[in-house]
């Protein structure tokens, strides 16, 4: 039935959304991801701060995004002078970042619930053909995902700065994200190189999650799915 094919395609996209949100959550909010790169880049020395202060700063940011704390108040010592870690502009920007992350988590949870609803519906109505529908839908959704990955992959490879600027203009309604390295510590502790590696790590994790599903779907469609299963029922 046409409805079943549509639901299966939507199910495939919902699974992809869950994988993307899960990957961002796992990588972007992992303190070790940043601390390892800080040490490799010797960033603390170049910023004239201690490694402990630098690590403490990223931990504070991530705690705030996770909603484990509602304050970004703290101090840091730069070149021997103690100052607030983040100024008012940086704090205001982090309010937007936190809202974006919390909304993304909400989308991920809603997608997971809808994914289960479609799964149960097809399991009840299609019984033995459920896996055939779902694997077909996932493959169709994956074709779209591959095209998205190719487009953005070429863009990121050629001009990550342009991509990162576009990302901010799409997801933020103000210009608070335009920080000044001379006055804003946040942009110095999070250089573009780290975000570039973060984006690649998230994409890699999505691939690690989705590729086994694609391989299984191809196998099932070729070896196990009933021939013409989509057309056995009357077209609705």
Mean pLDDT of 71-84: 94
- Residue 75, classed as helix, strand or coil, is strand
Helix (H) or strand (E) holding 172: none
Beta bridge pairs of residue 81: 78
Q: Say if CB 190 and CB 168 are below 8 A apart.
A: no
The mean pLDDT value for 33-45 works out to 96
Band of residue 227 on the pLDDT scale cut at 50, 70, 90: low
Q: How confident is the model at residue 51 (pLDDT cuts 50, 70, 90)?
A: very high
Assess whether pLDDT exceeds 70 at residue 223: yes
Phi, psi of 75 (to 5 degrees): -125, 160
Determine the Cα–Cα distance for residues 181 and 207; give it in Å rounded to an integer.
Answer: 34
What distance in Å separates the CA atoms of residue 147 and residue 83, rounded to the nearest whole number? 47
């Amino acid at each position: 039935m046409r409805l079943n094919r549509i639901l299966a395609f939507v199910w495939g996209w919902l699974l992809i959304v869950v994988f993307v949100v899960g990957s961002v959550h796992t990588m972007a909010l992992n303190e070790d991801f940043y601390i390892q790169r800080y040490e490799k880049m010797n960033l603390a020395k170049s910023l004239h701060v201690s490694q402990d202060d630098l690590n403490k700063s990223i931990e504070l940011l991530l705690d705030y995004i996770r909603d484990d704390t509602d304050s970004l108040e703290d101090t840091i010592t730069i070149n021997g002078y103690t100052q607030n870690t983040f100024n008012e502009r940086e704090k205001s920007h982090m309010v937007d970042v936190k809202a974006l992350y919390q909304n993304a988590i909400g989308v991920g949870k809603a997608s997971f619930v809808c994914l289960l609803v479609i799964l149960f519906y097809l399991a009840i109505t299609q019984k033995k053909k459920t896996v055939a529908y779902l694997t077909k839908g996932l493959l169709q959704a994956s074709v779209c995902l591959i095209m998205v990955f190719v487009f953005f992959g070429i863009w990121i490879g050629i001009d990550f700065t342009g991509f990162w600027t576009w990302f901010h203009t799409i997801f933020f309604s103000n210009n608070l994200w335009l920080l000044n390295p001379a006055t804003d510590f946040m942009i110095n502790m999070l250089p573009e190189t780290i975000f570039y590696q973060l984006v690649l790590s998230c994409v890699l994790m999505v691939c690690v999650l989705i590729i086994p599903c694609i391989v299984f779907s191809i196998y099932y469609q070729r070896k196990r799915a009933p021939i013409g299963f989509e057309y056995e029922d009357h077209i609705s």
